[in-house]
Structure 1
Amino acid sequence: MSSIESLLRAATLPESPSARLDAEWLLAAALGKPTSYLRTWPEREVPADCEARFVADLARRRLGEPIAYILGRQGFWCLDLEVAPHTLIPRPDTELLVETALRLLPATPIDVLDLGTGTGAIALALAHDRPNWSVTGVDRIPEAVTLAARNTARLQLANARFLESQWFSALGGQRYAMIVSNPPYVRACDPHLRQGDLRFEPGSALVAGEDGLADIRQIVSSAPDHLSLGGWLLLEHGYDQADDVRRLLAARGFADVHSCKDLGGHERVSLGRWS
């Protein structure tokens, strides 16, 4: 048997900018321990079955598979979420959408809709921080809806629910005080689709036509039929798409149209109020 430290020293991940941290996460998961255990007991020997799992997971990571898919978990907001290859991996950038939504409306009871919910990350973050909000998440992929429901049950959030729906198709005449979405917005020709984690994530959740705006156009066009008077539509988009998204919102009749910047100074969320 090998020690914790010897396994970590031998771990090589040439494609990863965080090789040591990746190896620590994988070994901790194989042992069923927190990463702090590795640093506290580096001389401890690793059982053969745990070492075998670590070696297998390390091989997957060497091929570029995202850590989140290997571990089946990803942190988002203050939540620990189950993830799977049929959903996007929740990213810190999307927390700007959550922050904006939480600032926009009070904690009084309202109905909120999350379009293209995936793991349920956005919906569950809002439901967690606003217990009086009733949050519905929809996704066209049945497996994503099932996964989001599992996350809800594990987090014990009674004010969130998930439905299978192609955007608004299954919602009838229901109206909401707020609609949020992190829809596909990557251009079909974007070279990043062949790099890093994106190679392993579902293309249907990333790509939206030649200009990346096909799904945003559809959402902006249909959202007024599902917004209460004065309700807000919030959209995450690419770092260079804010001007286009603001024009789409204004042309559809939304008021108070503006964008919010991320920590890097890029406009990544645009929103408008239906009046």
Structure 2
Amino acid sequence: MSPGALTAGQALAAAAARLRAAGVDSPARDARLLLAHAARIDAARITLIAPEELTHDIAERFDRLIALRAVRVPVSHLVGERAFYGRRFKVGPEVLDPRPETETLIEAALAEPFARVLDLGTGSGCILVTLLAERLDVTGIGVDLSEAACLQASANAVLHDVQARADIRQSDWFAEIKGQFDLIVSNPPYVALDEWDSLSRDVREHEPRLALTDEGDGLGAYRRIAAGVRPHLAPGGRLLLEIGPTQARAVCALLEQAGFATPAVLHDLDGRDRVIVARI
């Protein structure tokens, strides 16, 4: 072994210790993913290369990645992608990371047939692209106020070969939308301003604030959606909204005031209120 060089296993252990000391929640897992990225191999192969000496280039890349993770840059931003509903989505600081909880909304959407879908606040496009990839006869529109998010969503549509059926538009909610849809979905910003400081550093410092909070009580986006959605929802259509785990009662009340029948509340895998399903 070269003087001063480390094996992959030694480098991995040292990196995990460094992340643990920095207060990162999952140091061993993150170190494995970042070493795999630095070595340009699948994470499942890390055990196989553990006895091997790291090349200078890989060791340098790995050290840089660990330094960034130690200051809470998300792993997804460092590797440039995040898994969601069995697919890999390109992400970055301009969009909210896809989260496992949002798969509850996907399951609910796929539980019934639909032909045309509108995704409000599409972000990375993970919801719209997943629905189009799962339903090959469906078309859809995704809108976002952020031009950068629209570009990222468009890239993910191309990545998963649904670009011919996905129309990505920059729009302030319904401003650039005409026509009706039998499915309207949204994972809007729902973090209340007084909850902001309770978010992890990874989220507060590296994910887009616009996609997280309305700078108020966390219900601002739901008010906008409830006020504008009915003309765009086809007869018999469904509105699916992801919510924060304490917001079900308030959001249901907003929808009922807007003329929806009593909404249903669905739970995520942890048993928390996560998705509201509403019909006119």
Please tell me the TM-score bracket, short chain as reference. Answer: over 0.9
Is 2:258 the partner of 1:223? no
TM-score (norm 2): 0.93
Q: Which amino acid aligns with 1:162?
A: I
1:4 to 5, 8, 20: 8
Deviations, residues 113-168 of structure 1 (Å, cap 9, x unaligned): 00101100111111111111112111111111111111111111243231111111
Residue 193 of structure 1: how far off its partner (Å): 4.9
1:120 aligns with 125
1:226-245 residue pairs with structure 2 within 5 A? 226-245=232-251
Residue 40 of structure 1: how far off its partner (Å): 1.2
2:207 to 198, 201, 204: 201
Cα distance between partner residues in 2 of 1:80 and 1:230: 33
Cα distance between partner residues in 2 of 1:94 and 1:145: 19
Is 2:44 the partner of 1:24? no
Q: Which amino acid aligns with 1:187?
A: A
Residue 195 of structure 1: how far off its partner (Å): 2.4
Is 2:51 the partner of 1:43? yes
Once the two structures are overlaid, the 10-residue window that deviates more, 193-202 or 64-73, is 193-202
Contact 2:252-2:262 at 8 Å conserved across structures:
no
Cα distance between partner residues in 1 of 2:215 and 2:45: 47
Is 2:252 the partner of 1:246? yes
Cα distance between partner residues in 2 of 1:38 and 1:263: 29
Cα distance between partner residues in 1 of 2:154 and 2:213: 25
Deviations, residues 35-85 of structure 1 (Å, cap 9, x unaligned): 122101211122211211110110010011111111111000111000010
Does the residue aligned with 1:254 lie in a helix, a strand or coil?
coil
Cα distance between partner residues in 1 of 2:197 and 2:85: 25
Cα distance between partner residues in 2 of 1:161 and 1:2: 49
Change (3 A) 1:116 1:17: same
Deviations, residues 228-264 of structure 1 (Å, cap 9, x unaligned): 1222111111101000111111111112521111122
1:82 aligns with 90
Q: Which amino acid aligns with 1:177?
A: D
2:74 aligns with 66
1:82-101 residue pairs with structure 2 within 5 A? 82-101=90-109
Between the two proteins, the alignment pairs up a number of residues equal to 270
CA RMSD of aligned residues (A): 1.4
Does the residue aligned with 2:94 lie in a helix, a strand or coil?
coil
Q: Which amino acid aligns with 1:164?
A: Q
2:173 to 162, 167, 170: 167
Deviations, residues 174-203 of structure 1 (Å, cap 9, x unaligned): 211110000001100114455232122111
Cα distance between partner residues in 1 of 2:215 and 2:6: 50
Cα distance between partner residues in 1 of 2:219 and 2:262: 21
Contact 1:178-1:227 at 8 Å conserved across structures:
yes
2:113 aligns with 106
Q: Which runs of 4+ in 1 moved over 4 A?
A: 191-194
2:140 to 135, 139, 158: 135
Cα distance between partner residues in 1 of 2:98 and 2:113: 25
TM-score (norm 1): 0.94
Does the residue aligned with 1:46 lie in a helix, a strand or coil?
coil
Does the residue aligned with 1:190 lie in a helix, a strand or coil?
helix
Contact 1:192-1:198 at 8 Å conserved across structures:
no
Q: Which amino acid aligns with 2:201?
A: G
2:181 to 173, 176, 179: 176
Identical pairs, percent: 36
Cα distance between partner residues in 2 of 1:211 and 1:164: 25
Contact 1:73-1:80 at 8 Å conserved across structures:
yes
Does the residue aligned with 2:229 lie in a helix, a strand or coil?
helix
Which segments of 5 or more consecutive residues in structure 2 lack a partner in the other structure? none
